[in-house]
Amino acid sequence: MTRIFLNGCCGRMGRAITDLASESDEFEIVAGADVVSSDSLGYPVYQSLAECKEEFDVIIDFSNAKVVPALIKTAVDMNKPVVCCTTGLDQDTTDLLTEASSKIPVFKSANMSLGINILIGLAKKAAKVLYPGFDIEIVEAHHRRKLDAPSGTALMIADAINGECNNELEYVYDRHSRMQARDSKELGISAIRGGNIVGEHEVYFISDEETVKISHSAKTRDAFARGALSAARYINNKEPGFYSMDDMLSGAFEEEENV
């Protein structure tokens, strides 16, 4: 049994995790924190992690980028592992997470779904073969309430592709400020927002003769919730360090790469 403290427990992802955990014998949410209160979750909800009185094993965070620094400092003080899923983190917060990983296990991923991490593996393979020669574009769509743009996932895909292209691609966000023809070393990233879209990502490799499109569509938030719970189980009792979906899923592409 993995006992979890859930930061941002009253949000959309917090509720999805609460529902999944309640159906499982492997996970128990023992307490959570949120700035809005709720008595319908079935566990105590505090204003912050520091107030938590319950014993727990791992923190899962789906909250707001502004609150992550304080959460990480408290996690280090409490010596508890963190699965950080909040996106839109600035460089200082990312550095803080890296620093914290010398003292506690830190798992960070802008996308916890199995499918998107498979997409990243495919996109890396495609980039290796198709670049240079094909223009690469990423298009993402999310619900209208999402705060950050482009999505953390789009940036994660872009970084993975860029790594396969000797990091020589320049990210171009939407195109409105750039009245010029596309350069072959651009990596275009475009975002749209509307309705209740859970999360859609498309990666295009476009030449004069053909287009390869790799896409992922999250149908429900359970895809992320399930991944976050798996990550909590994965880092529980691990040594301090920085862990990612790559570590958790390692092996998925290795066999093929060796062919």
Ligand X SMILES: NC(=O)c1ccc[n+]([C@@H]2O[C@H](COP(=O)([O-])OP(=O)(O)OC[C@H]3O[C@@H](n4cnc5c(N)ncnc54)[C@H](O)[C@@H]3O)[C@@H](O)[C@H]2O)c1
Q: Confirm or reject binding of residue 21 to ligand X (CB under 6 A).
A: no
How far CA 130 is from CA of 134, 160, 202, in Å, comes to 6, 14, 16
Q: How many residues sit in the footprint of ligand X (CB under 6 A)?
A: 25
Token couple for 49: 């992690």
Q: Shortest Cβ distance from residue 147 to ligand X (Å)?
A: 7
Q: Shortest Cβ distance from residue 255 to ligand X (Å)?
A: 26
36's CB contacts (< 8 A; 6+ apart) are: 10
Q: Confirm or reject binding of residue 119 to ligand X (CB under 6 A).
A: no
Q: Is 142 a catalytic residue?
A: yes
Token couple for 206: 């476009």
Taking the least distance from each CB to ligand X, the nearer of 93 and 109 is 109
Q: Confirm or reject binding of residue 62 to ligand X (CB under 6 A).
A: yes
Strand order across the 82-84 sheet? 45-46, 27-33, 2-7, 58-61, 82-84, 105-108, 241-243
203 contacts 138 by C-beta, under 8 angstroms: yes
Q: Shortest Cβ distance from residue 62 to ligand X (Å)?
A: 4
Q: Confirm or reject binding of residue 241 to ligand X (CB under 6 A).
A: no
Residue 179 neighbours by CB distance under 10 Å:
6
Which residue among 25, 36, 181, 209 contacts ligand X (CB under 6 A)? 36
Active-site annotation holder among 80, 108, 124, 142: 142
Q: Shortest Cβ distance from residue 160 to ligand X (Å)?
A: 15
Active-site annotation holder among 146, 176, 185, 213: 146
Which residue among 2, 7, 18, 230 contacts ligand X (CB under 6 A)? 7
Q: Shortest Cβ distance from residue 179 to ligand X (Å)?
A: 31
180-199 mask for ligand X (x: CB under 6 A)? --------------------
Which residue among 224, 231, 232, 248 contacts ligand X (CB under 6 A)? 224
Q: Confirm or reject binding of residue 106 to ligand X (CB under 6 A).
A: no
Residue nearest to ligand X according to CB distances in the complex? 11
Q: Which residues are catalytic?
A: 142, 146
Positions touching ligand X (CB under 6 A) are 7-8, 10-14, 33-36, 48, 62-64, 67, 85-88, 109-112, 224
